């Protein structure tokens, strides 16, 4: 590739990132229905044609943002899985990675639900849908790899009819559902749920204990362990996030 082609490719990617950043701000501020291609073009002082050369419709912008954030999630999961610890503690690191992901992208779960609506999903390109599915598959593979590692080390037991992917799906459903509610509901405290993240973590601990995944939660206080993992694995990320 010539230097001119490299420069054009770099300019294309930089322009696309600027479009996505403005769109993300609009989406957070005004919601899906407030996302508008004309407003994006006006704010960036681009022609509408420039915006449409990158994205055919606003649904393509939403899925592009989802892919971008999911790629970050994959990277966080990989970092958690590489933590030098037993399989259950590395799974806890995955949980901490998910908490960090939600802190970084608090609206992701809400907009992913919107994106999955048939009326929106069918307007997105097969290429971007494939990218999003690939990111999801990588996350599942990383966690399933921890389950298999735990099985090979004799650290947990699965019933004969349960696969590692089955267990991952259950954990995925619990975390996705919990964070979706936490990031969209304003009535949890009124319902008597003061600390939803702690409640979710405790339910996950009970599920893992049910599979006899060692070490059991009764063998070590879980909150100090989670905080230690938080500092050892993602200390820098949380410090940047919490910096004034």
- Give the count of beta carbons closer than 10 Å to the beta carbon of residue 30: 12
CA distance 131 to 205: 32
DSSP E strands in 48-145: the ranges are none
Model confidence pLDDT, tens digit, residues 108-134:
777 777 888 888 899 999 999 999 999
Instruction: Say what the pLDDT of residue 229 is.
Output: 95
Going along the chain from its start, the domains and CATH numbers come out as: 1-55 (1.10.10), 59-242 (1.10.357.10)
Instruction: Say what the pLDDT of residue 228 is.
Output: 96
Instruction: Say what the pLDDT of residue 9 is.
Output: 86
Asked whether 147 and 212 are in contact (CB, 8 A), the reply is no
Instruction: Say what the pLDDT of residue 117 is.
Output: 84
Model confidence pLDDT, tens digit, residues 87-111:
999 999 999 999 999 988 887 777 7
Residue 5 pLDDT class (50, 70, 90 cuts): confident
Is the model's pLDDT at 2 over the cut of 80? no
C-alpha distances out from residue 101 to 108, 219, 222, 225, 237, Å: 9, 28, 20, 19, 10
pTM for the full model?
Answer: 0.89
Model confidence pLDDT, tens digit, residues 160-205:
999 999 999 999 999 989 988 888 888 998 999 999 999 999 999 9
Identify the residue with better confidence: 57 or 107: 57
CA distance 211 to 224: 22
3-class DSSP assignment, residue 182 = helix
**Cα(first)–Cα(last) distance of the chain, in Å?**
43
User: What mean pLDDT comes out for the span 211-239?
Assistant: 95
* pLDDT over 90 percentage in the chain: 71
3-class DSSP assignment, residue 26 = helix
CA distance 41 to 53: 12
Instruction: Tell me 191's DSSP state.
Output: T
C-alpha distances out from residue 160 to 142, 181, 216, Å: 21, 33, 21
- Give the count of beta carbons closer than 10 Å to the beta carbon of residue 155: 18
CA distance 241 to 82: 22
Instruction: Say what the pLDDT of residue 52 is.
Output: 93
CA distance 94 to 144: 11
Helices 3-30 and 37-44 pack at an angle, to 10 degrees, of 120
């Amino acid at each position: 590739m010539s230097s001119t082609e490299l420069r054009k490719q770099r300019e294309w990617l930089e322009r696309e990132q600027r479009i996505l950043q403005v769109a993300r701000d609009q989406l957070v501020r005004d919601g899906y229905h407030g996302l508008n291609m004309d407003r994006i073009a006006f704010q960036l002082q681009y022609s509408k044609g420039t915006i449409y050369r990158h994205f055919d419709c606003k649904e393509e912008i939403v899925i592009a943002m989802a892919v971008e954030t999911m790629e970050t999630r994959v990277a966080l999961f990989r970092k958690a899985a590489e933590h030098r610890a037993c399989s259950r503690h590395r799974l806890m690191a995955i949980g901490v990675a998910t908490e960090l992901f939600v802190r970084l992208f608090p609206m992701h779960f809400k907009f992913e639900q919107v994106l999955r609506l048939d009326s929106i999903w069918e307007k997105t390109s097969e290429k971007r849908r494939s990218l999003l599915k690939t990111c999801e598959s990588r996350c599942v593979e990383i966690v399933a790899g921890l389950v298999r590692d735990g099985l090979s080390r004799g650290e947990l037991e699965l019933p004969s009819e349960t696969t590692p992917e089955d267990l991952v799906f259950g954990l995925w459903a619990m975390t996705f559902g919990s964070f979706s509610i936490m990031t969209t509901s304003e009535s949890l405290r009124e319902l008597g749920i003061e600390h939803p993240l702690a409640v979710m973590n405790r339910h996950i601990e009970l599920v893992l204990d049910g599979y006899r995944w060692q070490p059991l939660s009764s063998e070590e206080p879980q909150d100090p362990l989670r905080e230690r993992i938080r500092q050892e694995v993602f200390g820098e990320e949380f410090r940047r996030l919490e910096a004034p």
